[in-house]
Amino acid sequence: MTEKLYYTNPSLFEWETEITEIVPSGDLWLVKLKETAFYPEGGGQPADLGIIGEANVLDVQKQGDDVIHFVDKEPSERKVHCRVNKERRIDFTQHHTGQHLLSAVLLDMYNAPTVSFHLSPETATIDIDIRELDEEKLRKAEERVNDLILENRKVHIFYIDESEVSRYNLRKIPTGHKTLRIVEIEGVEYNACGGTHLQSLGEIGMLKLLKTEKIRGITRLYFICGRRLLRDYGEKLALLQAASIPLSTSPNQLPDVIQKLLDENKELSRKYNQIFQEHANIIATKLLKDAPEGFVTAIFDSYNMKELNLLASIIIEAGGKLTLFGSKAEGKVLLASVNSSNFHCGKFIKEHANKFDGKGGGSNNKAQAVFPNVETLKQFFNFAKNEIKQF
């Protein structure tokens, strides 16, 4: 049985111990220690990472009363120095205690029980059994959570016998355990839990609710707290400042400035489309003049597919039979024909584009394909031009 230092000494991150067993498993080694501070995955909390001797700990799992450490190389000595990734552990511990507090508040305020908890280095979420939480409810819940954090309520951990369960108002009672580990937040809740936790709510720092999603009739709530929240705030502030400098404005004025730019861009786009329509008519006339049989072909440097679609439509309406256009800017080819044509554009693209590392398809009278580079686009374009001429 492994002595679990993450329970008896939760602030320990480095220690000396002995390896009691080493078992090879594929490219990894499974290591048991006499004592371990590495928390094994469980209860929504990911496993600790770190080192055992010179080996990197890639995963930790519980197996009965033992803790199994998955490492990338066989330790060369039986007596080893171990180190837990402290930043990762503190981050997960802050979010685990934060989750307990958040879940308790949502249950108390809105009768919304937590169904599951998901934690990773990138995100922290709880799934709650309620169809919707509007902005006002979220604001009030967040305010209550942070009020309790500022009060610095104590977090107590103790063990009870299964016969004592009725004395505590537990949200969920695990089955098959004669002894339960109870995490108590003073004046807030009792919870049976095997995860790592802080000693008081003040260690959470602050907690911020980010967004919600609808998941199969329940609500997934994203949150962030502790050091991760501070780091996220710093990154967001840096982005705001970086965006503000070229616009010669302050971060708090960015929304108005951006909206003004969007409005101006919309007007410029409208004017450009109007000018391009006139320009496209001139190009179409010239291209048709150079294609007496009505088969119009051209490769353009800067036109995008929206513009080429417009140009093709003008040519078809003006009497053209079929157009083959290439866009170097987007690495795409457009094939379009009159509705009465017995040439199937989509079928042709489907059958031949892949010969030039392209992919695409379309309908009877319009299709397009995309290619990895300009060279393959040109190769397909020349092939298609010759094939269609013979047709």
Residue 62 is part of a domain; what is its CATH number? 2.40.30.130
Q: Quick check: is 259 in a domain?
A: no
Residue 27, pLDDT > 80, answer yes
Pair (376, 303) in one structural domain: yes
136 and 172 co-located in one domain: yes
Residue 80 sits in the same domain as residue 94: no
Q: Considering the domain boundaries, does residue 201 fall inside one?
A: yes
Contacts of the segment 286-292: beta carbons below 8 A, 24+ positions apart? 287/315, 287/320, 288/315, 288/318, 288/319, 288/320, 291/320
How many structural domains comprise the chain?
3
pLDDT tier at 125 (50, 70, 90 boundaries)? Answer: very high
Query: What confidence score (pLDDT) does residue 389 get?
Result: 86
What mean pLDDT is predicted for residues 299-303? 93
| 257 lies in some domain | no
Q: Give the residue numbers spanning the domain of 24.
A: 3-84
Of 221, 236, 251, the residue at which a domain comes to its end is: 236
Q: Are residues 380 and 350 part of one domain?
A: yes
- Is 253 a domain residue? no
Query: Do residue 168 and residue 274 come from a single domain?
Result: no
Q: What is the pLDDT of residue 384?
A: 94
State mean pLDDT over 213-235: 95
79 and 136 inside one domain: no
Q: Among 84, 118, 147, identify where a domain stops.
A: 84
* Residue 116 φ/ψ region, left for φ over 0, alpha for ψ in the -120 to 50 degree band, beta for the rest: beta
- Mean per-residue pLDDT of the chain: 93
* Residue 166 confidence (pLDDT): 86
Q: Are residues 44 and 156 in the same domain?
A: no
pLDDT at position 309 is: 93
Same domain, 95 and 230: yes
Q: What is the pLDDT of residue 366?
A: 94
- Residue 293: pLDDT above 90? no
Do 74 and 207 belong to one domain?
no
Q: What is the predicted pLDDT for the residue at 43?
A: 84
Q: Does residue 251 belong to any structural domain of this protein? A: no
pLDDT tens, position by position, 40-95: 999 889 999 999 999 999 999 999 889 999 999 999 899 999 999 999 999 999 99
Which pLDDT value is given to residue 162? 86
**Domain contains 95:** yes
pLDDT digits (tens, 9 = 90+) for 314-347: 999 998 889 999 999 999 999 999 887 788 999 9
The pLDDT confidence band at residue 291, using thresholds 50, 70 and 90, is confident
CATH number for 336: 3.10.310.30
- Structural domain includes residue 341: yes
Q: What confidence tier does 1 reach under pLDDT thresholds 50, 70, 90?
A: confident
The enclosing domain of 146 has a CATH number of: 3.30.980.10
Residues 69 and 103 grouped into a single domain: no
Say whether both 71 and 165 belong to one domain: no
With a pLDDT cut of 90, the percent of the chain lying above it is: 81
> Which of 62, 84, 106 is the C-terminal boundary of a domain?
84
pLDDT at 230 over 80: yes
pTM above 0.85, yes or no: no
Q: Are residues 66 and 126 in the same domain?
A: no
Kindly state whether residue 158 falls inside one of the protein's structural domains. Answer: yes
Whole-angstrom distance, CA of residue 68 vs CA of residue 62: 6
